[in-house]
Amino acid sequence: MCLDDQVLSSYIDGELQEPWKTQVEEHISHCRDCKARYEYFVSLQETMWESRLRNEEITVHQERVWKYLEKTCMPAQPYKFRHRRITFSGPALAAAAAALVLLIGANVFFLVLSGGTAPGDFSIPVLSADGRDAAPQEEADPALMSVSARTHQTAAIAPQELTVEDLLYLLNLKGFEVELKRTEATAPVSTFGEPVELRDDPFQPEQDPESIADDAVEENGDDAYDDIYDDWDNDDWDVDEPDLEEDK
């Protein structure tokens, strides 16, 4: 008797430790019988490897599943780089909108004051220092008149004194799409510190990962199998140290 099949199998798997590994190599080099058995094991392994799923075959599935997971599992990832979503709370948005409107409004008014009439299909009344209208008003439409009437009451109006409503109205007439949006105060994002999503999932006590991994096993099936093959877990089957016998 030469090498045990068990030893050969471990050797092929690269699991044989020294000094047995060297002994097996030595033995195979001069025992034709064991060499043939060894080669048969190797050829079986090679045949198994031939049918192995190749990397390029896997890539398609890998990308498809990733897209699916991105879409379904993690829609509100705070650290997503490609589709980063920024949400402001209500007051912040309103303040930002007001600042923007004031900026645009101020620019429009300075333009009007310096250049006479504003570009576009209507003109904004330009106020002179003594409160008289300096610009012709024939082409101004009635809607504009109300604004001009109101502004007319205050002599020598400064742009800062216009109300947000007036500016919005004017911008609206100019054809700007002005919309003041307000988000819910209870947006699922905290307004300070790092963006942390506040989950409303019910609390789940910490579970042992291993017990969850076993969830996938169908109960009856696996247990029944355990009974049948219980003897395999018996230590009698185990060969702790390879038995090597010298060549005859």
Told to check if 43 binds another protein by CB under 8 A, we report: yes
List Cα–Cα distances, 113 to 48, 110, 129, 172, in angstroms: 85, 5, 11, 20
Nearer to another protein, 19 or 209 (CB): 209
CB 24, CB 3: distance < 8 Å = yes
* Nearer to another protein among residue 68 and residue 110 (C-beta): 68
In the complex, the smallest distance separating the C-beta of residue 183 from another protein, rounded to whole angstroms, is 24
Is 224 a binding residue for another protein by CB under 8 A? The answer is no
d(CA 184, CA 198) in angstroms, rounded, equals 14
Residues facing residue 189 across a β-bridge: 197
Could you say whether residue 202 binds another protein (CB under 8 A)? no
Min dist. Cβ of residue 153 to another protein (A): 58
Q: Does 218 help bind another protein (rule: CB under 8 A)?
A: yes
Do 133 and 127 meet the contact criterion of CB atoms below 8 Å apart? yes
> Restricting to residues 68-107, which ones interact with another protein according to CB under 8 A?
68-69, 72-74, 77, 79-80
Contact 94, 182 (CB under 8 A): yes
- The residue from 25, 26, 33, 61 that contacts another protein (CB under 8 A) is 61
What SS3 state is found at 197? Answer: strand
Counting residues that bind another protein (by CB under 8 A) gives 55
Interaxial angle between packed helices 20-30 and 5-12, expressed in degrees from 0 to 180 and rounded to the nearest 10: 110
* Alpha-carbon gap, residue 81 to 78, rounded angstroms: 9
Buried b / exposed e across 194-207, counting CB within 10 Å, b at 16+?
eeeeeeeeeeeeee
- Span near another protein by CB under 8 A; candidates 60-68, 150-158, 163-171, 182-190: 60-68
Neighbours of 225 (CB within 10 A): 11
CB 6 to another protein: min, Å: 5
Question: Which residues sit at the interface with another protein, rule CB under 8 A?
Answer: 5-6, 9-10, 13-15, 40-41, 43-53, 55, 57-58, 61-62, 64-66, 68-69, 72-74, 77, 79-80, 204, 207, 209-210, 212-214, 216-218, 221, 225, 229, 232-233, 237-240
